[in-house]
Copies of this chain bind each other. A is one copy, B any other.
Amino acid sequence: MKLSKKNLDQRLDHLYDVIIVGGGAGGLSAAVYLQRYRLSCLVIEKGRGRSFWMQELRNYLGLPPETPGRELLNHGTEHVLELGGDYLRGFVEDIQDEGETFAVKVKVGKTDSVYPVFRSKYVIAASGIIDQLPTLPDMQNVYDYAGYNLHVCMICDGYEMADKKCGLFVHTESAINTAFVLNWFTPYITVFTQGLCTVGDEMRQKLKEFGFPLVETPIKRFLGQHHEMTGVELENGAIVELETGLVAMGSLYHNGYLKGLDLQWKGENLVTDSMCRTSHPRIFAVGDLKEGINQVSIAVADGTLAATTIWREIRRASTPRRWEENLTQPTIEPIGAVS
């Protein structure tokens, strides 16, 4: 059921099989599987994750290409609730490993916040990442285009950028290398650093060899209308016309609540085995938090793998169920043998 400040007291004494941090594609897929394995789970979602921002989910099999990410999330949340899963809007602040159980502390409510602690046998870290966007004086101007034709994922949207005049927005020199992959889709690339990094001679030379202009002047604003970006106006008043854009400014990882636990990291990603288990036997990581390709399809499969592995362990540790009424009879004759 949906938990809120009003009813969460009902679950404070409950030991969940699994608490899932993050109600994106990976977390919801795990919850669907776990509930169907007849385990109890709680999904804790802070809101506005990466797939929430996707305007069109063009490469997830079975959904119409124009499906917004939030529609996937809404359907998935409904699905979990129908299966009897619990769902809470809140921000996980901390997880304590208590040996057999985890204590998960959640901040619920932006005002008059409460801080309930829920307990579970397993944790699935599905809290993902969020793409960093260019910082402009008017951030609404950025949000007007981000996720529309100002893209954040080349794998998802390279196809949409094909052969278009494309701005590549970076804030480190190494991110400029994205241009030399993006050119598979379009060679009409202008690189914008906003002067946030130093660009060495070698990189300048390479850009020149590829014909990709480098713009280091800060951006004043994106131009366009109806969520269609048509260029940028620089602080010096110059205008660069564009038809599309790719932001390659890295991601913020929602993993702060895991930092106190004994886990193996590779950068900000959790290292996992082929079933999405981290170096802690009762903590799994799915989707963008773990190493690999950041795609909805991968996150959904990760949820399947983590849930199935947890189910197998819990099942094997449980008392097997017998057909009790048959056991009260002294001898069970195979039905087929009676003829």
Contact = CB atoms under 8 A, between A and B. Distances in A.
A61 B32 contact: yes
B59 A184 contact: no
**Complex copy number for this chain:** 2
Interface stretch (A14-22, A102-110, A131-139, A329-337): A329-337
Interface in A71-113: 71-72, 75-76, 79, 82-83
A216 to B, nearest CB: 5
A86 B209 CA distance: 36
Nearest to A78: B64
A104 to B, nearest CB: 23
A59 B33 contact: yes
Contacts of A211: 322-327, 332
Nearest to A189: B323
A313 B190 CA distance: 25
A37 B159 contact: yes
> What's the dominant secondary structure at chain A's contact region?
mixed
Interface of A: 25, 28-29, 32-33, 35-38, 58-65, 67, 71-72, 75-76, 79, 82-83, 155, 158-159, 162, 180-181, 183-190, 192, 208-217, 234, 236, 238, 240, 274, 293, 295, 297-298, 300-305, 308, 315, 318, 320-327, 332, 334-339
Top 10 closest A-B pairs, CB basis? A211-B326, A217-B336, A301-B301, A211-B323, A215-B336, A187-B321, A36-B159, A236-B339, A214-B334, A29-B61
Given A38-B159, A62-B67, A240-B335, 7 more contacts: A25-B61, A28-B61, A32-B59, A33-B59, A216-B336, A238-B335, A298-B305
